[in-house]
Each structure stands twice: as C-alpha cells, then as structure tokens.
Structure 1
Amino acid sequence: MENKLPAWDDLRVLLEVHRGGSFLAAGLQLGLSTSTVARRIGALEKDLGRALVHRTSQGAWLEKEALELIALAERFEQSLRAHRRDEGGRSPYAGRIRVSVPDGFGGGAAEAATRFRRLHPETQLEVISELRFVDLSSREADLGVRGGRSSSPVLIDKPLGEVESGLFASGDYLSRSLPKRFLGADDYREQDFVVEDETPRGQGPSRWLMQRGAARFPFRSNSMEARLHAAKGGMGLVMLGLGASKDHPELLPVRLETPLPSLRFYLTMHKDLRKVPRIREFAATFEAVFAEYLAAQAAARRRPRR
C-alpha cells in the first residue's frame, strides 16, 4: 500500500511542534489540547510510515525526515498567505463568528478568540454574554455554550465537561462571620450570600441555598463581575467555579458539608455549520480552552485548604 500524502492540517501541527519545541506549546498556539496534537502527529506518522517526532521530559525533537517536511510546510504556509492576500481575504476563514455564552464564560470565549485570531486574522468574532440564550436553531448565533442538551433536531451538542463550583468569601468576611471556614447543615441561615438576580426568585443557585436555610441575600446581580466585586468587598459568600478560583486569590474557599451540585456544559451549533472551516476550528479552540479550565478545576480540588 502506498503511503498517503500528508494533510496540511497535520503538517501545520508538525510545524508548530518544531517552532514551539513541545506538544504543549504547539497546542497553545493552535488552540488544541496536547492529546489532539499527539493524535495529529500520530496520524501523520502513520500516513508516512515512519517516526517523525520523539517526546521527552524536556520537550520534543524531530527526525531528519521531519525537518524536510518542515521546509515543505513553511513553503506551503507562505504560498497560502500570499494566495489569501491575492484573493482579497476570500479565505475559508473570512467572515464572522457569533458566540453566545452564559454569564461567567466571557473570559474563556475571549481567550479562545485571541488564540484563533493569531492564526486567522481575517475572522471577526463576537461574544455575547446574556441571560436569555439566543436561538441557535434560527441562527441568531453560530455557537452557544449551554448547561444542557438541546431538543431541536437541527442542533448538535458536543460535551465540554462538568463544572464544579464552591463557595468563596473574602478574608474579612470569614474572620467576621465564619472563622471556622466550614459551612455545616445548620450554618446557612446565619450567613450572607451574593447571588444572581433571578426571576422568579428561588430558582437556580438561590434555590439550592434556600433549601439549606439561606435567607440573607444582601447583594444580587446578573453580572458575575459585579458579584465577585461584592464578595471581595466582604458582602458575603459567592458561588465560583473551581477552575476560575485561581484568578481570584482574594477569595478564600469554604469547606462544605454538602458539596454544590455540578453542571455539565455543551458546545452547541446548527448542524449546517459543522463543516464550515472557521466554525469548526473555533469550536476546537474553545474546547481546548475549556479543557484547560477543567485541568485548573482538578488542581483546585486537590489543593490543600489554606
């Protein structure tokens, strides 16, 4: 059987491994997970019938045959850029991507957009963080992050992972109101909570807290940024995803007798868009960013309580 010709997508991964010196660096540049980079390199080696890259604890080094492919990939990359300039930006990635995310996911979407634009500056990205989810089935947005599977037959959902949350508060609040930093079954009624401004009240996170006796909600807001600011100012306990806690060192975790319920999220799109190059690749970039969030979540779960 003749060896297959290498695909450009796989050559581009090899090129970034060469430039970055590791699978991790290549993944960060391309917006892919390390496992996806390894899978792409493995596919390239299988197509060509020989080993190209060797991984070590210090990084990755390439065989001589791989360096010849690197030169080919660089020439192709230069030709592709010139062609895109000649075409006046009419590349498969020219156009807009509109992404709808829940409150609190805007930072991750912006990070994915930043990585994507490094590779495809011809793409325009819009991120909408909103309480009312746009209608993906009628194409009000191209991609949406949702806390459950869709029921529409024209939409497809890809699982992103399960987000775990905890309760956090400022050191000032804890020293005044919860010095033991432990919330038992009978402690909720005596604590202040910073929560979403929900309608009707008693739904979502507030409902979970109220079921445990919480009754004091001195600050409500539909903005995650506002809730975090209030909690940092000592107004009460706030729910925060474990994967995001590393970005808010001013907030300290509270041990819980009953863990908060976790929520599985999905990346949803219209099935007609799954073959559009810019949509497909941005979805992969967002998945890589979310995978990093889940890794930070696992690290926070293992981290000793201060």
Structure 2
Amino acid sequence: MAQNWDDLRVFLAVARGQSLSAAGKRLRIDPATVGRRVARLEQRMGTPLFAKSPLGYELSASGARLLPLAEHAEQAMGAAGELLGTSNTHGNELNGSIRIGAPDGCANFLLPQVCARIVQDHPDLDVQIVALPRVVNLSKREADMAITVSAPTAGRLTVQKLSDYKLHLAAVPQYLQRASALQSKEDLRHHRMIGYVPDMIFDKELDYLGALGVERVPLASNSVSVQFNAIRQGAGLGIVHDFALPSAPELKRVLTDEISLTRSFYLVRHSSDRRLQRLNRFAQALVAGVRSEITRLEAQP
C-alpha cells in the first residue's frame, strides 16, 4: 500500500511539474529515479500515463483519468497523517511545511511579519512564501494556498475574502518640488509615471494607471517592489499600497481627494483541502494576521 502511494506521489509531481527534473526537485530525488518510478507505475497499470511533447510531460488519456483519483489519495494520506500525528503534537501546534503564494506587494509588505508571528507561535512549522508577479497555479500545486487580488470563478477552489486595502498616488517631496504643478488628475499627463509593464498586468484589478487614464508609463516593472523603490528614488509618481507607506516615511500621498483606490485580497485554496485541519488552522491564523496588519499599517499617519 505504501509503495503504491509513493508511486502515485511521483506521478502527481510529474503531472504538476510537467518534467522529470521539476518533479525531482519537488520530491528531492534525481530525475532518473523519477523516470524509473513512472515507468514502474505505467507497467503496473498496463498503459502509458504521459506523452513526451515539446512542452514536457503531458498527461495521456489514461493519466488524465488517474489524476483526480491520485489527488483524492493524496488528500486521504494527508488526513491520515494528521490523525496519526495527533499524539505527537501539543495542543493546536502546527508543524511540517506550508507554502503560500502571493502577489509581491502582499508578499513583501504584509506576509513577512504575519508569518513571522505564526512561526514564532509554532516552532515546528516551516512557511514558504512564494512571491510571483502572476497568478499562482494551485492545480499544479505550486502552493498549498494563494492570496489573489481577484476571486477566481473556475476550478475546484474555495475562496475567502481576506480584506479590503487602499492605494494612493505617492511621490517623494524632491520629485514634487522639481516637477510640474500637480493640482488635479489632468496634470498627470505632465508627470513621469511609474507602474506596471502594460502587457504584463496579470489581473485587471492591477491596472491602476489605466483606470486613471494614463496612457504612457515611462518607468515600468512587473514588480510592485521595483515600482515602490523607483518612487522612493524620486523617479516619478506611482500608485502605492497604503500598508506599504509606513516602511517609507519619505513618501507623501498626493491628490488624495481625487485619487483613492480600494482593492481586495482573497485567500484561495483547493476545495479538497478543507478536510485537512492543519491547513485550516494555518489559514485561520493567516486571515486574522493579514486583517490585523492591514488595519494597523493603514492607521499610521
């Protein structure tokens, strides 16, 4: 039974990583061993589970049918591990490894302190924060859960609203002193704007400058942190999360009466993971921590 599950675990890693090397990194075994394990499973089942293509290892028709069954087995093994491990834990202490994906603004300015408090309360817990300028692919198990700026409407996912947050236009005084007058939104066309690379905006909720009618972005990046630091260097004006402003007191909000944006964070998880109490407890602590941190940071002058 254990050997059968071990082979299914390898199958899932290849299906999600679409290569032997990616699966090997995730499982911490060499790619050649991954290939042999897949071949053994295919021989046992009497059918090929993958087809090699220019994109990597793609599921065959048989592999696609096996995938949901393997995922159910994964969830069952996780639940069994939690049940059998209860005698080795103390109270509600969390352990093991949990990976959370998030857009880099949230990952840089909120999650470090929130997760630091969680791991301080749970010394045997390892938290991995994956900061990506794109949507985290939960179906490929890039993370155990993800924070997003839009609520997904497709897939076998559960979605929980985390919190609203605010954003404003900001710059350093040195830039404002040497730049053109800034008295209304119409004056933005005379200023150097900092924002996202237009064709790399991965969610419509992030098109802040487009919503303001800004057509040209002279200094752009797909990273919120790069934009933030460019604004700090006096390179121009940009939209900044209010929760990031306390980390850069030199930044000043401008045109606050005209320009004030509100967005939301959502916590997204696999639907089947609702049965895993370990992930449920972590999600509960994460939600409470993020809400509290946004409230604390946005209240600072």
TM-score calculated relative to the size of structure 2: 0.62
Q: CA deviation at 1:242?
A: 1.4
Paired with 1:265 and 1:202, the residues of 2 have a C-alpha distance of 15
Q: Please identify which structure carries the higher helix content.
A: 2
Q: Describe the superposition over 1:83-117 as per-residue Cα deviations: whole angstroms up to 9, x where unpaired.
A: x9x9599x973321110101211132222221121
- Contact between 1:101 and 1:129, CA under 8 Å: does it hold in 2? yes
Paired with 1:286 and 1:203, the residues of 2 have a C-alpha distance of 23
- Contact between 1:159 and 1:264, CA under 8 Å: does it hold in 2? yes
Aligned equivalent of 2:77: none
Aligned equivalent of 1:194: 194
Paired with 1:198 and 1:293, the residues of 2 have a C-alpha distance of 30
SS in 2 for 1:288: helix
> 1:133 pairs with 132, 135, 140, which one?
135
Aligned equivalent of 1:147: 149
Unaligned runs of 5+ in 2: 1-84
- Contact between 1:193 and 1:219, CA under 8 Å: does it hold in 2? yes
- Contact between 1:93 and 1:122, CA under 8 Å: does it hold in 2? yes
Paired with 1:202 and 1:213, the residues of 2 have a C-alpha distance of 19
Name the % identity.
24
Q: Describe the superposition over 1:259-283 as per-residue Cα deviations: whole angstroms up to 9, x where unpaired.
A: 3442222111112223423322221
Unaligned runs of 5+ in 1: 1-83
Opposite residue 176 of structure 1, the aligned amino acid is: R
- Contact between 1:189 and 1:213, CA under 8 Å: does it hold in 2? no
- Contact between 1:137 and 1:155, CA under 8 Å: does it hold in 2? no
SS in 2 for 1:186: helix
Judged with a 3 Å threshold, the aligned counterparts in structure 2 of structure 1 residues 235 and 203 are, in CA distance, closer, same or farther, namely farther
Paired with 1:230 and 1:200, the residues of 2 have a C-alpha distance of 18
SS in 1 for 2:185: coil
Q: CA deviation at 1:249?
A: 0.4
TM-score calculated relative to the size of structure 1: 0.61
Instruction: Give the 4+ runs in structure 1 shifted more than 4 A.
Output: 86-89, 200-208, 210-213
- Contact between 2:114 and 2:289, CA under 8 Å: does it hold in 1? yes
Kindly report the root-mean-square deviation, in angstroms, between the aligned alpha carbons of the 2 structures. Answer: 3.0
Aligned equivalent of 1:58: none
Aligned equivalent of 1:119: 121
Judged with a 3 Å threshold, the aligned counterparts in structure 2 of structure 1 residues 278 and 111 are, in CA distance, closer, same or farther, namely farther
Q: CA deviation at 1:146?
A: 1.1
Q: CA deviation at 1:212?
A: 4.3
SS in 2 for 1:125: strand
SS in 1 for 2:287: helix
Opposite residue 231 of structure 2, the aligned amino acid is: A
Matched, 1:247 2:247: yes
Paired with 2:133 and 2:236, the residues of 1 have a C-alpha distance of 23
Judged with a 3 Å threshold, the aligned counterparts in structure 2 of structure 1 residues 195 and 274 are, in CA distance, closer, same or farther, namely same
Q: CA deviation at 1:205?
A: 7.3
Paired with 1:200 and 1:134, the residues of 2 have a C-alpha distance of 15
Judged with a 3 Å threshold, the aligned counterparts in structure 2 of structure 1 residues 200 and 94 are, in CA distance, closer, same or farther, namely closer
Paired with 2:276 and 2:206, the residues of 1 have a C-alpha distance of 40
Aligned equivalent of 1:163: 165
Judged with a 3 Å threshold, the aligned counterparts in structure 2 of structure 1 residues 208 and 122 are, in CA distance, closer, same or farther, namely closer
Matched, 1:105 2:106: yes
Opposite residue 286 of structure 2, the aligned amino acid is: F
- Contact between 2:168 and 2:259, CA under 8 Å: does it hold in 1? yes
Give the total of aligned pairs.
214
Q: Describe the superposition over 1:180-230 as per-residue Cα deviations: whole angstroms up to 9, x where unpaired.
A: 5x4x13212101111122425798578553464534523111222221221
Judged with a 3 Å threshold, the aligned counterparts in structure 2 of structure 1 residues 167 and 278 are, in CA distance, closer, same or farther, namely same
- Contact between 1:227 and 1:238, CA under 8 Å: does it hold in 2? yes
